Amino acid sequence: ELTVRVSTEHWLATALRLRDEFGFEQLIDLCGMDYSTYPHWSRPRFGIVVHLLSIQHNLRLRIKIASPEGPVPLVESVVTVWSVANWFEREAFDLFGIVFSGHPDLRRLLTDYGFVGHPFRKDFPVSGFVEMRYDPEQKRVIYQPVSIP
């Protein structure tokens, strides 16, 4: 499997070319990355990794896009190129805080709407937050402090 690095400013144009000219008709995965604990890492902290598939050519391609440094990690949305990116981008936003500009409905997907922070970031605290869960005895959603032994 080939890995290609693409800058954020060229990501949308590259995605269109990969689909239209090179036959990568399927986006099979898109995930967020937090590189803050990688040794000897000199690139920006956040990025995304995308896996594409060309059925016609029987090829897979991995693309790494580093988000520019700034107060908010920002990457162009490719929902207009591959509609399946919708849920993947929402997941990366929810768990890593990566904002996809141009996304039609960028809101949390897995965590509660009132959840504070992004749990897959390396600096996310493992304690001191509340957990939301359904209590079958009370027959309602309850909030309780998270405790990790």
Our CA angle for 84, 89, 95, nearest 5°, is 135
Check residues 41 and 105 and name the one with the higher pLDDT: 105
pLDDT of 108 above 60: yes
Q: Quick one: average pLDDT of 139-143?
A: 85
End-to-end CA distance of the chain: 40
Do the strands 140-145 and 130-135 form a parallel or antiparallel pair, or are they unpaired?
A: antiparallel
- What's the pLDDT tens digit per position in 41-69? 888 999 999 999 999 999 999 999 999 88
pLDDT at 149 exceeding the cut of 80: no
Residue 48 phi/psi, 5-degree rounding, is: -130, 155
The structure tokens listed for 119 are 């749990």
| Structural domains for the chain | 2-107 (3.30.460.80)
CA angle 146, 34, 28 (to 5 degrees): 100
Please name the residues in contact with 43: beta carbons below 8 A apart, sequence gap of 6 or more. Answer: 35, 66
How far, in whole angstroms, is CA 133 from its chain's centroid?
24
**Residue 83: strand, helix, or coil:** coil
Average pLDDT over residues 90-118: 90
